[in-house]
Amino acid sequence: MLATLFISIVAILIATALVNYAAQRRLYVVVPRLFPHSRLSDEGHAAELTIINRGPFNEEDVTIEINSKINFEIIASTSPSVIVKKSIISIARIPKGDEVSFVFNVEGGDFSYKSIGSISSKNCRGKVVEKLENVPVSFGNFVSAIVIIMFLCVTMAFIGYMVRDTNVFSIFDNEQKSDDHSISADSSSLNSEKLNYAETLSSIGWENFDRYLSSAYFLEIERPHFPVEITSVRRQGSVVLVDISLDNQGSDIMYVDASVRSPVDGRLPQSISARSSYYGIMVVDQSTSERQLAAFLPEDHRDQILVVHVNITYGSDTVYRIRRLISVSN
């Protein structure tokens, strides 16, 4: 009994240390590529900057400070929330496990990782990393799995010690096998339907959805479906409107980030009430919600194509960067 108690205390201490490690915030900024020649300026060059959130929490109010002697202008980014004020770059929100990249034109000096003064968010101070391969890998999910396994092992060892002279486990095992056989027979067709749903999503045009097929939401719902549906795409002058329908068939609240990207930089007219992106759209259980996305895409532009990105959060589980290409007809 004392040995079991000692092992349990040691396991709890180790688990506590692992949980503290997994809960640490990890925010990094890196310059993965430099472009010595820029078509936007004869005397300048271009650079790419990437901000990576490897921590277990969303980071808000992210701020990057650039050397004030360097003049720069952002020409493209993966997030619509990037704001530049003098030498300060601000990003409203970076979800956990996600990253934001942007390309900018540089004048007034050579740009490198040493040109970045600091990076911080509302809750932590980040690190400037020289190379992309030097960004530490996140072991958050691995550590969580180790903690759970340790907890189960200690619990089972303690229960086994207390009931070692009984046949409780054999009785439970027989009943469990009977229940598993019944469930397997009743749900075999449904499991097959879910496994084949990847072909359905691919045929619709969605990409990068592998993680969704193992998400908490997809495993819970009775019949396979995707909660984001593009119901219509129509042009209104130089603007393309994309109507989306959000359908939560689960038993918990769902939050959806949805955005549309165009190959053309341009502002939406003030007469357009739709937005290019929405963050944290709440859809309560067993309900639907409608939104309208808008993208600037003139009719005479060569590439008549849009990209819709969605992030889906259900409970504590989040699926990132599912996307769909949309061809726009004039």
| Nearest by Cα to 33 from 15, 20, 21, 46 | 46
0.85 exceeded by pTM: no
Evaluate whether residue 2 is within a structural domain. Answer: no
Q: Quick one: pLDDT band at residue 177, thresholds 50, 70, 90?
A: very low
- Residue 58's domain is classified under what CATH number? 2.60.40.290
Share above pLDDT 90 across residues of the chain, in percent, rounded to a whole number: 43
**What residues make up the domain containing 247?**
195-327
Residue 152 lies in a domain: no
pLDDT band per the 50, 70, 90 thresholds, residue 132? confident
Tell me: do 207 and 295 sit in the same domain: yes
Domain assignment present for residue 12? The answer is no
Last residue of a domain, one of 134, 151, 167: 134
Mean residue pLDDT across the chain = 82
Say if residue 243 is exposed, middle or buried (CB neighbours under 10 Å; 0-12, 13-18, 19+): middle
Give how many domains the chain has, as a whole number.
Answer: 2
The domain that holds 227 is classified in CATH as 2.60.40.10
In this structure, is residue 209 part of a structural domain? yes
Residues 6+ apart with CB under 8 A from 122: 59, 60, 61
Measured distance CA(245)–CA(139) in Å, rounded: 35
| 199 and 322 both lie in a single domain | yes
299 plus 211 within the same structural domain? yes
Indicate whether 221 and 315 sit together in one domain. yes
Domain boundary among 113, 134, 155: 134
Phi and psi at 138, nearest 5°, equal -80, 125
Q: Is 105:38 a contact under the CB 8 Å cutoff?
A: yes
Instruction: Return the pLDDT at 73.
Output: 86
Same domain, 127 and 208: no
Residue 82 near residue 100 (C-beta atoms within 8 A): yes
Query: Is position 167 within any domain?
Result: no
Is there a domain that residue 305 lies in?
A: yes
Taking residue 166's Cβ as centre, other Cβ atoms within 10 Å add up to 9
* Within-domain flag for 15: no
Asked which of 116, 134, 152 is the last residue of a domain, the reply is: 134
Does 230 lie in the same domain as 123? no
Domain contains 184: no
Residues 42, 130: one domain? yes
Pairing of strands 27-35, 88-94: unpaired
What CA–CA distance (Å, rounded) separates 198 from 228?
Answer: 15
pLDDT per position as a tens digit, 219-230: 999 889 999 999
